[in-house]
């Protein structure tokens, strides 16, 4: 992948620093992005002021890193007598000395580090005479916000898997019978857990993993962070929010649909319609020069005009539209840019969710979410899945 690290190099140049060091494992998306590599155990990535990318890694990962990583050099820890250092100074002291030797080899005496850089390593390097500065703007995260064509294709592929999972969930719910107000499938109550299992199995068959899914019914769905549990009920809104990650590429996708079986009451139906209008208003607002804040405002306008609270109309509200309109999606499920009150310029290549919702424990929750990419003249919807195809909400 062609990553553009020039903003980072400009920063190093302006600050007169020799390099930018990441010390983490590939659960840190910045490191995965910069190194083009994925390892379960911690390793170090140094970007030198000349743009070189240099990895320091365990012997076990050396072969794979040498062939797979987007790096100019890959060095084994053993090159700096790592085992001897650990034997003499312990795991912690030995590790720091190994990293210091690696930096010295690259003439890096003053380095920037990300905000999340381990204080243990930072202080250890400082004790050994290096200058360590925190790069506090999140430059790499900002670079990551703008996706390459290749990245957009990876996200699109994860979204296809997501759509297969959503279809499996909707089909399962649609096939349920209703007995005593509860959904029943093959003689057993159809639970949130059973639908989540269907979603997860579908995703695994499509090469994706996920730790979490939301299938939340009734009052559960009024808390946007509630994952949902127990039997699904007829006549209630059911929020299905799926955010899988491709196991190979590590790119996420994200989508939400709200469905119901039976006959939701008029207030629930009205909230569904208002949410859908807010979703459409937010999409319509995406055009050249717009900010995330503008798009968020467009969604808030619709919801407030319909008589519901938002965090804009009442920062302390616990009902109504109680989250932001969207967030960036990529190697992290929540990343830059933000489609929220503080959201800055939306730029071509930004991949964001648009996901307004209305919540109240007395009525339940509604949320509709698509994944889109900002383009030169507006946006392209990466979601190829109808709204309202699910059971009987409309």
CB 277 within 8 A of CB 321: no
Q: Which residues contact residue 244 at a Cβ distance below 8 angstroms, ignoring those fewer than 6 apart? A: 158, 161, 162, 165, 203, 208, 209, 210, 252, 253
- Rule CB under 8 A: which of 8-27 touch its own copies? 27
Distance between CA 273 and CA 368 in Å, rounded? 10
Shortest distance (Å) from residue 387 CB to its own copies: 25
Sign of CA dihedral 301, 303, 305, 308: negative
The single residue among 68, 104, 178, 224 that binds its own copies, judged by CB under 8 A, is 224
Nearer to its own copies, 2 or 136 (CB): 136
Q: Which residues contact residue 385 at a Cβ distance below 8 angstroms, ignoring those fewer than 6 apart? A: 163, 166, 167, 255, 257
Residue 187 as a binder of its own copies (CB under 8 A): the answer is no
Sign of CA dihedral 307, 311, 316, 319: positive
Place of tokens 């980072």: 8
Query: Cis before residue 337, ω within 30 degrees of 0?
Result: yes
What are the structure tokens assigned to 130, written together? Answer: 């290096």
CB 190 within 8 A of CB 232: yes
The single residue among 1, 131, 174, 342 that binds its own copies, judged by CB under 8 A, is 342
The single residue among 225, 266, 362, 386 that binds its own copies, judged by CB under 8 A, is 225
CB 386 within 8 A of CB 376: no
CB 286 within 8 A of CB 295: yes
Shortest distance (Å) from residue 392 CB to its own copies: 28
Instruction: Provide the mask over 112-151, with x wherever binding to its own copies is found by CB under 8 A and - wherever it is not.
Output: -xxxxxxxxxxxx-------x-x-xxx-------------
Residue range at the interface with its own copies (CB under 8 A); choices 58-66, 160-168, 234-242, 347-355 = 58-66
Shortest distance (Å) from residue 381 CB to its own copies: 26
Nearer to its own copies, 161 or 261 (CB): 161
Nearer to its own copies, 352 or 373 (CB): 352
Count of chain residues binding its own copies (CB under 8 A): 46
Residue 313 as a binder of its own copies (CB under 8 A): the answer is no
What are the structure tokens assigned to 326, written together? Answer: 């969207």
Instruction: Provide the mask over 249-288, with x wherever binding to its own copies is found by CB under 8 A and - wherever it is not.
Output: ----------------------------------------
First and final C-alpha spacing in the chain: 43
Tell me which residue of 225, 218, 166, 161 sits closest to 196, measured CA to CA. Answer: 166
Residue 63 as a binder of its own copies (CB under 8 A): the answer is yes
Residue 60 as a binder of its own copies (CB under 8 A): the answer is yes
Shortest distance (Å) from residue 135 CB to its own copies: 9
Residues forming the site for its own copies (CB under 8 A): 27, 40-41, 60-61, 63-64, 83, 86-87, 91-92, 113-124, 132, 134, 136-138, 197, 200-201, 204-205, 209-212, 223-225, 247, 315, 323, 334, 342
């Amino acid at each position: 992948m062609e990553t553009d690290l020039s903003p980072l190099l400009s920063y190093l140049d302006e600050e007169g620093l020799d390099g930018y060091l990441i010390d983490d494992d590939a659960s840190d998306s910045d490191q995965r992005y910069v190194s083009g590599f994925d390892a379960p155990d911690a390793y170090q990535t140094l970007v030198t002021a000349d743009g070189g990318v240099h990895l320091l890694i365990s012997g076990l990962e050396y072969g794979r890193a040498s062939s797979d990583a987007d790096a100019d050099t890959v060095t084994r820890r053993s090159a700096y007598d790592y085992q001897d250092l650990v034997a003499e100074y312990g795991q912690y002291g030995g590790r720091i000395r190994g990293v210091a030797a690696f930096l010295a080899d690259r003439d890096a005496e003053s380095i920037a580090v990300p905000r999340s850089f381990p204080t243990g390593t930072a202080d250890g390097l400082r004790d050994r005479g290096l200058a360590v500065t925190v790069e506090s703007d999140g430059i790499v995260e900002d670079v990551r916000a703008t996706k390459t064509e290749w990245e957009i294709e990876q996200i699109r592929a994860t979204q296809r898997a997501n759509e297969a999972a959503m279809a499996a969930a909707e089909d399962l719910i649609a096939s349920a019978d209703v007995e005593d107000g509860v959904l029943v499938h093959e003689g057993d109550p159809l639970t949130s857990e059973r639908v989540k299992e269907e979603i997860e199995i579908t995703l695994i068959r499509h090469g994706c993993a996920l730790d979490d899914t939301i299938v939340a019914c009734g009052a559960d769905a009024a808390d946007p962070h509630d994952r949902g549990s127990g039997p699904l009920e007829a006549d209630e809104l059911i929020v299905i929010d799926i955010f899988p990650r491709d196991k190979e590429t590590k790119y996420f996708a994200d989508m939400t649909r709200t469905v119901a079986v039976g006959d939701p009451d008029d207030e629930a139906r009205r909230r569904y319609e208002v949410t859908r209008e807010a979703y459409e208003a937010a999409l319509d607002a995406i055009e050249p020069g717009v900010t995330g804040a503008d798009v968020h405002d467009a969604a808030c306008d619709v919801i407030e005009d319909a008589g519901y609270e938002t965090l804009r109309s009442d920062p302390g509200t616990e009902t109504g539209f109680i989250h932001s309109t969207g967030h960036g999606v990529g190697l992290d499920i929540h990343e830059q840019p933000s489609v929220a009150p503080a959201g800055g310029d939306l730029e071509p290549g930004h991949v964001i969710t648009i996901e307004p919702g209305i919540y109240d424990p007395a009525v339940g929750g509604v949320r509709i979410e698509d994944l889109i990419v900002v383009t030169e003249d507006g946006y392209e919807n990466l979601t190829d899945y109808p709204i309202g195809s699910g059971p009987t909400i409309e």
